[in-house]
Amino acid sequence: MAWDFSTEPEYQEKLDWVREFVKDEIEPLDLAFPHELVYDKKHPVYWEVVKPLQEKVKEQKLWACHLGPELGGEGYGQIKLALMNEILGQSTWASTVFGTAAPDTGNAEILAHYGTQEQKDTYLKPLLEGDIVSCFSMTEPQGGADPGVFTCHAERDGDEWVINGEKWFSSNLRYAEFAIVMAVTDPDVPIYQGASMFLVPTSTPGINIIRNTGLAGEGPGEGAHAYVRYEDVRVPADAVLGGPGQAFVIAQTRLGGGRVHHAMRTVGMCQRALDMMCERAVSRYTQGGILASKQMVQEYVADSYIELLQFRLMVLHCAWVIDNSTDGRSPRKDIAAIKVATATIIKDIVFRAMQVHGSLGVSNEMPLAGMWSGAPIFGLADGPTEVHKVTVARQVLKGYDPAPGLFPTQHLPDRVAAAKAKFSEIVDHRVANFSE
Ligand SMILES: Cc1cc2nc3c(=O)[nH]c(=O)nc-3n(C[C@H](O)[C@H](O)[C@H](O)COP(=O)(O)OP(=O)(O)OC[C@H]3O[C@@H](n4cnc5c(N)ncnc54)[C@H](O)[C@@H]3O)c2cc1C
């Protein structure tokens, strides 16, 4: 009987260490250095401040825990990773210090699965060491949720492929050593069979960043989401990862893990928002009492607690399903479901925390407004909520067959008749006795 919510003592000690380390050593980075530096591995902050912290994480055997031992991780599995990511999710820099930052986690998985030995030596090794940054370049300006409209294409020319086309929101391209670029290689078949993934070093001529789009609040040019034009970008034949036509198989390998990791970190972020909400509720007086004495504030606290517990259990359940998968396939339905729930829970809990803080909550003197912007971002990045809901619904519906007759199988008249027939003797006997 293995339905157990306890954490084994040795791992709990590690989690306690992580919690202290994040509080004492990493949260100060969040406050002292701008968020954009997280991905700039050439900046002195990375080498002088972050690198020594990463060494401490490695000494604790907590580095890159999403990876198996063959790739330098600890092979802890998803449940342990979830418990750790809940803590890391409370800080902007923590994932970088622990070697679990997106999009590098997913890109490392792709290279590990599909890269040649030379590609692994050149790119995977430093990526796993945390010394370089990578980019995943799939979305196009004319559409992201529907790959059917993608036009960026690659053509074979002798021993090389030549890539042409535009991509949009290619995060961190400006800092990356390489990009994994999706391009159409066979326009005569549906995109799901006709697209390929290319490993493209960013030093290759022809990668022209039109501009780096920023998120709301970032000034022009400060952003890290590239609008890029690939113009006659030449890469060798072995740059096609997994062979031609494999782009979507590869994309699923990458995006599944990333979505789960975001959800794990979101548990931590929402717990932090709930903590802030509760502290404010018991601290602030208005109209003769603390906020916590007002029923509507109590409702905020109760709803937030209930929703967070539900979400956390969903995430841990999904982690458990992945850990216990016998065919190595990720559970699409569960991953799509937590992807949808991730955006919703940030929207709701962080919003309530802001509301309870009043004007202070929406100000730049609290981290809440920044956290809340995660809601629309998580509703889009790695695919919009609507598309993931469709996936959930399709996967759920796969388990159902049409009713065999005119009426549903739960239609009462037939069921009552069948039940009465099953107990006909008793029913007749009782009825007979009763009427006597
Ligand atoms: C912070 C951030 C980082 C990102 N990083 C990357 C990256 O590194 N690499 C990369 O390739 N992409 C990246 N993206 C892009 C992301 O994958 C796309 O935004 C996403 O796939 C949606 O594409 P779109 O923005 O073109 O929206 P569209 O495809 O235009 O969709 C817009 C809206 O239309 C609706 N919609 C779309 N399809 C359906 C449907 N089937 N049913 C119902 N409604 C629908 C939804 O409301 C959706 O939000 C990032 C996005 C963000 C916000």
Index of the ligand 1 atom closest to the CA of residue 171: 8
On whether both 184 and 285 belong to a single domain, the answer is: no
Name 112's Cβ contacts closer than 8 Å, sequence gap at least 6. Answer: 67, 71, 120, 124
- Cβ 145 under 6 angstroms from ligand 1: yes
Helix/strand/coil for 212: strand
User: Is the residue at 142 inside a domain?
Assistant: yes
Kindly report the CATH number assigned to the domain that includes residue 353: 1.20.140.10
Domain with 375, as residue range(s), is 252-397
**pLDDT, tens digit, for every residue of 151-202?**
999 999 999 999 999 999 999 999 999 999 999 999 999 999 999 999 999 9
Distances (CA, A) of 126 to 129, 170, 171: 5, 20, 19
Q: Which residues of 127-141 are buried (b: 16+ CB within 10 A; e: fewer)?
A: bbebebbbbbbbbbb
pLDDT band at 436 (very low <50, low <70, confident <90, very high): low
Give the CATH number for residue 87: 1.10.540.10
Ligand 1 geometric centre to CA of 22 (Å): 32
Mind listing the pLDDT tens digit for each residue in 218-229? 887 788 999 999
220 found inside a domain: yes
Domain end residue (candidates: 209, 241, 273): 241
User: Does residue 139 have its Cβ closer than 6 Å to ligand 1?
Assistant: yes
Ligand 1, residue 138: give the atom nearest the CA.
Answer: 11
One domain for residues 257 and 392: yes
Let me know whether 24 and 107 are in one domain.
yes
Q: What local confidence, expressed as pLDDT, does residue 432 receive?
A: 64
Number of domains in the chain: 3
Which DSSP symbol is given to 143?
Answer: B
231 with 204, same domain?
yes
Nearest CA, atom 38, ligand 1: 145
Same domain for 235 and 138, yes or no, is yes
Domain final residue, candidates 183, 206, 241: 241
Structure tokens at 89: 């999710």
Pair 346, 213 in one domain = no
Same domain (yes/no): 387, 282 = yes
Shared domain check, 388 and 296: yes
- Report yes or no on 431 lying in a domain: no
For residues 199 and 237, membership in a common domain is answered with: yes
For 89, 106, 259, 322, the CA distances from 334, given in Å and listed in that order, are 20, 18, 11, 10
Q: Which residue, judged by its Cα, is nearest atom 48 of ligand 1?
A: 384
- Pick the atom of ligand 1 nearest to 146's CA: 29
Q: Could you tell me the distance, in angstroms and rounded to a whole number, from the CA of residue 315 to the centre of ligand 1?
A: 23
Q: What is the CA radius of gyration of the chain?
A: 26
Q: What is the mean pLDDT of the chain?
A: 93
The CATH number assigned to the domain holding 205 equals 2.40.110.10
Whether residue 194 is contained in a domain is answered as yes
Residue of 303 and 42 predicted with greater confidence: 303
Residue 128, in any domain of the structure = no
Verify whether ligand 1 is closer than 6 Å to residue 210 (CB atom): no
Query: How does residue 328 score in pLDDT terms, banded at 50, 70 and 90?
Result: low
With a 6 Å cutoff on the Cβ, whether 386 touches ligand 1 is yes
pLDDT in tens, 272-315: 999 999 999 999 999 999 999 999 999 999 999 999 999 999 99
Q: What mean pLDDT do residues 347-359 have?
A: 98
In a domain? residue 420: no
CB of 138 closer than 6 angstroms to any ligand 1 atom: yes
- Is residue 434 in a domain? no
| Of the residues 115, 145, 180, the one at which a domain ends | 115
The response to whether residue 381 sits with its C-beta less than 6 Å from ligand 1 reads: yes
Buried b / exposed e over 412-428, threshold 16 CB at 10 Å, is eeeeeeeeeeeeeeeee
Atom nearest to 182 CA in ligand 1 = 11
Asked whether 391 and 267 are in contact (CB, 8 A), the reply is no
Best-predicted range by mean pLDDT (195-209, 239-253, 414-428): 195-209
Please list, in sequence order, all residues whose beta carbon lies within 8 angstroms of the beta carbon of residue 23, skipping any fewer than 6 positions away. none
133 CA to middle of ligand 1, Å?
22
Same domain, 167 and 299: no
Residue 380 CA to ligand 1 centre (angstroms): 5
**Please, are residues 29 and 98 in contact by the beta-carbon 8 Å criterion?**
no
Give the number of other CB atoms < 10 A from CB of residue 298. Answer: 13
Q: 388 in helix, strand or coil? A: helix
- What is the structure's pLDDT at 425? 84
Residue pLDDT, tens place only, 56-112: 999 999 998 888 888 778 888 899 999 999 999 999 999 999 999 888 988 998 998
- 144 Cβ inside 6 Å of ligand 1: yes
Residue pointed to by tokens 């919703």: 344
How many whole angstroms separate alpha carbon 177 and alpha carbon 190? Answer: 31
- Cα of 389 vs centre of ligand 1, distance in Å, is 14
Task: Compute, in angstroms, the gap from residue 176 CA to the centroid of ligand 1.
Answer: 22
- C-alpha to C-alpha distance for 242 and 410, rounded to whole angstroms: 48
Cβ of residue 214 lying under 6 Å from some atom of ligand 1: no
Q: Are 89 and 179 found together in one domain?
A: no
pLDDT surpasses 80 at 323: yes
* pLDDT at residue 40 is higher than 90: no
| Distance from Cα 134 to the centre of ligand 1, integer Å | 20
**Per the domain annotation, does 105 fall within a domain?**
yes
Predicted TM-score (pTM) of the model is 0.92
**262/345 same-domain check:** yes
Confidence band for 427, pLDDT divided at 50, 70 and 90: confident
